[in-house]
Amino acid sequence: MSEVKIILDTRGGDKGAEELVKGAALALERFPELKLALAGDRGVIGSAAKENGMPEDRFEIIEAATEITNYDDPAQALFKKTDSSMLVSMETLAKRGDIFGMITCGNTAVLLSGVIRYLPGETRVRPALAAVLPAQNGKFTCLVDTGATVDCNPQMLHHFARLGTQLMRDMYGIASPRVGLLSNGAEPTKGNKLVKETHPLLAADETLGFIGNVEGNNALSGVCDVLVCDGFAGNQVLKVTEGTAMRIMTDIMVYARRAKSRDIAALGEHLMGIYDIGSLGGGIVLGSPKPVIKARGSADAKAVVSVCGMLLNMAAHKAVFDAEKNKI
Amino acid sequence: MSEVKIILDTRGGDKGAEELVKGAALALERFPELKLALAGDRGVIGSAAKENGMPEDRFEIIEAATEITNYDDPAQALFKKTDSSMLVSMETLAKRGDIFGMITCGNTAVLLSGVIRYLPGETRVRPALAAVLPAQNGKFTCLVDTGATVDCNPQMLHHFARLGTQLMRDMYGIASPRVGLLSNGAEPTKGNKLVKETHPLLAADETLGFIGNVEGNNALSGVCDVLVCDGFAGNQVLKVTEGTAMRIMTDIMVYARRAKSRDIAALGEHLMGIYDIGSLGGGIVLGSPKPVIKARGSADAKAVVSVCGMLLNMAAHKAVFDAEKNKI
């Protein structure tokens, strides 16, 4: 098993650097092949690492003086806050061959602009933010875009389809990923203006396994491996799924307490393992030559472990973020 | 208890007129104040009514020779198929003071155009299709629009907010309904172009209880009484909620069988009562002076009973579809 080094931006999360370093320590325990570079305040990271008993030979600290917040203007931050932990992480990822990928909980807009500046892909298209979600059949569906670009044109959606296809092919070994276009009806004539104009582009692209329009109730039913939509609609699919699931989980827990049923409590835990979409995983930046994961602002230690697992899985499958392959 | 007469379009449903008439019979049994007018083929309706033992003094048949299908072009159908059961129902509803409201499972586009032609509101704006959904706190949230208009401008969304407010005020007695604007972030700066332009319109309207942007994970959490969005996004919220709920219900049933747990089977039934959004209820056409409900194409007898219940509830609350009040 070869080593994989990941850089973690310890700033920009709602729960503070200590929580993220705690997650880093748990991830090192869990994954023996993992090494980490922790970007942020050397003092804070150092003492948190000590407190959590992190083995010194498996991590390094990269000093970064400032933090990018959600109030920063992306364009300004990109040029004025080059000493921030997010941009330092990105620059380090771009320059150093020994670092495989990056994790940040910080400002999404700055992150995406940063990818264009520090990690430009071959395709010169604005990167997209994908979520790989558990589908009904035990497989996974890549939802793209989930919020990076909320006003899209048909060419962007076409590009999302290609990026998502590449991810699912290379990361999950699906030879011909089935691509669906999110719409308000299954018929090819259904959709808003954007969807109607995108449909023929996807249908005409022979490199795509386009299956046509997919409605919201089938979004994660497993009918497609890649579900394409603008970032506004994708954000709704992601968050409504999460909100509905969490709401039903809450109902189940309340019911279990009232009924004093161990069976139901066990069921609740089983379902949480599948549907706790919010606290697990993170968004994958597509269009970057090296993997960058955007974790939630609210990410806790457990989320850091989960996202490290995602990156190690990507490393094991290698191909997807290879710059040559990125020329699609 | 005063009588309420409803007209049911027996054509245009996937399951055929017999199934809908069966539902009509069940609804008459369930609701003693209900009377029905059944529009469609007199022969088919008559024999189905007999088979289901419908009391002759509580229904009438209105002959309509043709059917509007999902393949009909709305503009053409509106002028060429005036003898269809949908348009005959609408014309009857408009003309006859003794008929309170209408139910159809047929083509939504024709229905909405038909409302403009036969039941023009005071506001001269395209009608919207709302769904009143169960919110987490046991109350209800009116989601508008759910698919009538998939490409919207800010003025339309503003109008949806007013129509939804009126419905929740008059039908549910909420004095100042809280209005949320569906977005991809809670901050007022978040949203696609449409949402960003709509935000100040809603904020400036003092007749609305505008609470700001609402994210998808809070869509049905009960934070707002009216959730405003374009028909494409609303269709996603509706169908993703439904799809996620049905998926979890399936998981629970499979788990219950495997674990042979009666507790879990009982839980499953309890949850189905709340979350079986697809088979219960229907969309409410807002902007019509008289209530029109669009049931699912796949509606079965049970759905007919449920939708009759919705209309009777509206009748009990009267105010909402009063033409004078419609002048908002």
Q: Averaged over A142-152, what is the pLDDT? A: 95
Token readout for B117 is 């032609």
**DSSP symbol at A266:** H
Report the candidate in B141, B146, B140, B142 with the shortest Cα–Cα distance to residue B127: B146
Q: Is the pLDDT of residue B314 over 90?
A: no
Set of chain B residues whose Cβ sits within 8 Å of the Cβ of A263: 259, 261, 263-264
Question: Cβ–Cβ of A252/B267 closer than 8 Å?
Answer: yes
Tell me which residue in B150, B192, B250 faces A232 most closely, judged by beta carbons.
B192
Residues in chain B within 8 Å Cβ distance of A218: 243
CATH number among 3.40.640.10, 3.90.180.10, 3.40.718.10, 3.40.50.12780, domain B4-126+287-321: 3.40.718.10
Q: Are B40 and B75 in contact (CB under 8 A)?
A: no
User: CB contacts < 8 Å between A and B, how many?
Assistant: 155
The answer to whether the Cβ–Cβ distance between A271 and B278 falls below 8 Å is no
Shortest alpha-carbon distance between residue B217 and chain A (Å): 4
Encode pLDDT of A19-33 as tens digits.
999 999 999 999 999
Q: How far apart are CA A55 and CA B62, in angstroms?
A: 82
CATH class of A1-124+287-328: alpha beta
CA distance B216 to chain A (A): 5
The verdict on a CB contact (< 8 Å) between B235 and A216 is yes
Q: What is the pLDDT of residues A169-184, one digit of tens each?
A: 988 889 999 999 999 9
Query: What number is the average pLDDT over the span B229-257?
Result: 93
CATH code 3.40.718.10 region(s) in chain A: 1-124+287-328, 128-285
Query: Which tens digit of pLDDT belongs to each residue from A74-132?
Result: 889 999 999 999 999 999 999 999 999 999 999 988 999 999 899 887 666 778 999 99
Find the closest chain B residue to A235 by CA distance. B184
Type and span of the H or E element at B17: helix B16-30
pLDDT over threshold 90, residue B182: yes
**Model pLDDT, residue A122:** 65
B259–A264 CB contact, under 8 Å: no
Residues sharing a CB contact under 8 Å with residue B246, sequence separation 6 or more, in sequence order: A217, B275, B276, B278
Per the prediction, chain A carries an average pLDDT of 91
Residues of B in contact with A236 (CB under 8 A): 182, 184, 216, 219, 233, 236-237, 240
Tokens of B288: 């019509």
B128-275: which CATH number, 3.30.450.40, 3.40.718.10, 1.10.490.10, 3.30.70.1230?
A: 3.40.718.10
CA of A218, closest CA in chain B: separation in Å? 6
Q: Name the residue facing A218 among B147, B243, B274 (closest C-beta).
A: B243
> What is the C-alpha to C-alpha distance for residues A301 and A25, in angstroms, rounded to an integer?
9
**Do the Cβ atoms of A184 and B245 come within 8 Å?**
no
Contact A184 B235 (CB under 8 A): yes
Type of residue found at B33: E
User: In the predicted model, what is the mean pLDDT of residues B12-30?
Assistant: 96
Confidence band, pLDDT 50/70/90 cuts, at residue B143: very high
Beta bridge partners of A226: A142, A179
Domain covering A128-285, topology: Isopropylmalate Dehydrogenase (3.40.718)
pTM: 0.90
Minimal C-alpha gap between A238 and chain B (Å): 8
Q: What is the pLDDT of residues A265-315, one digit of tens each?
A: 889 888 888 888 777 778 999 988 899 999 988 899 999 999 999 999 888
Are B128 and B145 in contact, with CB atoms under 8 Å apart?
A: yes
Tens-digit pLDDT profile for residues B110-126: 999 999 899 887 666 77
Q: Mean per-residue pLDDT for B104-110?
A: 92
Calculate mean pLDDT across residues B159-185: 93
Inter-chain CB proximity A195 and B239 less than 8 Å: no
pLDDT at B164 over 70: yes
More confident residue, B1 or B207: B207
Lowest mean pLDDT among B61-75, B123-137, B177-191: B123-137
> ipTM, 2 decimals?
0.89
Question: Contact B63/B10 with Cβ under 8 angstroms?
Answer: no
The mean of the pLDDT values for chain B is: 91
- Region B208-221: mean pLDDT is 95
Which residues of chain A have a CB within 8 Å of the CB of B218? 243
Model confidence pLDDT, tens digit, residues A229-252: 999 999 999 999 999 999 999 999
Is the pLDDT higher at A225 or at A124? A225
All CATH 3.40.718.10 domain ranges of chain B, comma separated, are 4-126+287-321, 128-275
Candidates A150, A236, A255; nearest CB to B267: A255
